[in-house]
Amino acid sequence: MGNGASKIPHTENTSIVIVGAGYGGTALGRKLLHSGNMKIINPYDFLFHNIGALRGAVQPDFVPSLMIPLSRTFGDSFIKGRLTQVNKERNSITLEDGQEITYTYLVLATGVSSAFPAKLSNDYPQATAEDTVKYYTDINSNIRESGTIVCVGGGPVGVELVGELKTDYPDKKINLDSPK
């Protein structure tokens, strides 16, 4: 294991819990998967490639390719759940369903939040893979039915979304409005 993972003292009683299965949590989980007692916890049962999320808003048939099932990657080491409490004195965490999990090492890899459609994040906390496809299909329906689209925010996400929209809908009137 590279990148510092080999520096963690490991015994057969060592348990590592990773909360968050985005890019960072998943990468660490894959490095540690066969090294002993490791659990990875995520509220969704899939890794969502949010880098392609805006393309999914324009082409909803692309959305299934953005989801990698975590149970296929991590098997029994994956737990679908949402963290509600960390008890540092007991070296344990509690999930929303009441399940308590003890750890030797805890990694919080919860990532960042952004609004839909750039990410699922807090907008859809209980989304399944099927729900996710529906959310992107619904937004695409709104896009297709719109004559004019106003995108508020001229940062990287806004510019990317306008680029995706213009690529598939070159005849639509699209305004990019950046507040001052």
Peptide bond into 125 cis (omega under 30): no
Rounded Cα distance between 166 and 87, Å, is: 49
Structure-token pair, residue 171: 């005849």
The full set of domain ranges for the chain reads 5-143, 146-180
Structure-token pair, residue 154: 């001229």
Rounded Cα distance between 121 and 17, Å, is: 21
HEC letters along the chain: CCCCHHHCCCCCCCEEEEECCCHHHHHHHHHHCCCCEEEEEECCCEEECHHHHHHHHHCHHHHHHHEEEHHHHHHHHEEECCEEEEECCCCEEEECCCCEEECCEEEECCCCCCCCCCCCHHHCCCCCHHHHHHHHHHHHHHHHHCCEEEEECCCHHHHHHHHHHHHHCCCCEEEEECCC
Task: Supply the pLDDT for residue 5.
Answer: 52
Q: Among residues 171, 150, 151, 147, which one has the least CA distance to residue 159?
A: 151
Is 108 in contact with 88 (CB distance < 8 Å)? no
Please state which architecture CATH assigns to domain 5-143. Answer: 3-Layer(bba) Sandwich (3.50)
| Cα-based distances in Å from 38 to 42, 53, 61, 139, 153 | 14, 29, 34, 37, 41
pTM of the model: 0.81
Structure-token pair, residue 153: 């925010």
Per-residue pLDDT of the chain (180 residues; tens, 9 = 90+): 445 555 656 667 889 999 999 999 999 999 998 887 899 999 999 999 988 999 999 999 999 999 999 999 999 999 999 999 999 999 999 999 999 999 999 999 988 878 888 888 777 888 899 999 999 999 999 999 999 999 888 888 889 999 999 999 999 999 988 776
